[in-house]
Structure 1
Amino acid sequence: MTNDYLIPLPDLCTQYEMEMSFFINLEEYGLIEFISVEETYFIHKDHIVNLEKILRLHQELNLNLEGIDTVFNLLHKIDILKTELNDVKNRLRRYENE
């Protein structure tokens, strides 16, 4: 993993106009994961999409960490159910076509 894919935490604070403590709380709650390199925390660029979702939920809907965690858990369950539903539909099509 090269540093081209890592974004420093201080840059995130500046970009999103958020306190560093907010990002630390997100990590402590398990909502994001930081990588530590020489006493500086970084986030992988692939996780920015989820971070932006978290920030929108927090800023626009005024959700706390527990609310954000609940929303992410529900979205994950919806994805699982969609996959299962597609699998069942595909199996049903096979039986209907026989």
Structure 2
Amino acid sequence: METKNVITITEFCQHYNIPKQFIITLNEYELVEIATENNTPCIYVTEIQTIEKLIRFHFELDINIEGIHAISNLLNKVERLQKDVKALHNKLTFYENLKL
């Protein structure tokens, strides 16, 4: 059985009851990537969790696209910084254990 890596924008928008233009706008702001399968615009299944978060920002918290773009960039920076801190912490722990 073949697994699908993409879902059509139409199916996704029907499931979440959102307008297609919202996904297209997210793509214009480079917040999601739109793929084309058989001349049909699709989104990658791996991006569904991100899109769900963006849907909540916009439709539940009433944040405009520009605000979503700013929030998304800041959250990505925080995530990168957290990874850097963890990597540095692991290195520090390694070198501290060498001294023992």
TM-score band w.r.t. shorter chain: 0.7 to 0.9
The whole-number CA distance in structure 1 between the counterparts of 2:27 and 2:51 is 11
In structure 1, runs of 5+ residues without a counterpart are none
Q: Identity, % of aligned pairs?
A: 34
The whole-number CA distance in structure 2 between the counterparts of 1:93 and 1:45 is 37
SS in 2 for 1:4: coil
Question: What's the counterpart of residue 43 of structure 1?
Answer: 43
Deviations for 1:33-87, whole angstroms, at most 9, x for unmatched residues? 1111233111111111111011011112111111111111111111111122122
SS in 1 for 2:7: strand
Question: What's the counterpart of residue 66 of structure 1?
Answer: 66
User: Which consecutive segments of 4 or more residues in structure 1 shift more than 6 A?
Assistant: none
User: What's the offset of the Cα at 1:3?
Assistant: 7.0
Taking structure 1 as the reference length, what is the TM-score of the superposition?
0.85
Question: What's the counterpart of residue 96 of structure 2?
Answer: 96
Taking structure 2 as the reference length, what is the TM-score of the superposition?
0.84
The whole-number CA distance in structure 1 between the counterparts of 2:37 and 2:89 is 47
Opposite residue 79 of structure 1, the aligned amino acid is E
Shift in CA distance, 95/38, structure 1 to aligned 2, threshold 3 Å: closer
The whole-number CA distance in structure 1 between the counterparts of 2:80 and 2:19 is 34
Shift in CA distance, 87/13, structure 1 to aligned 2, threshold 3 Å: closer
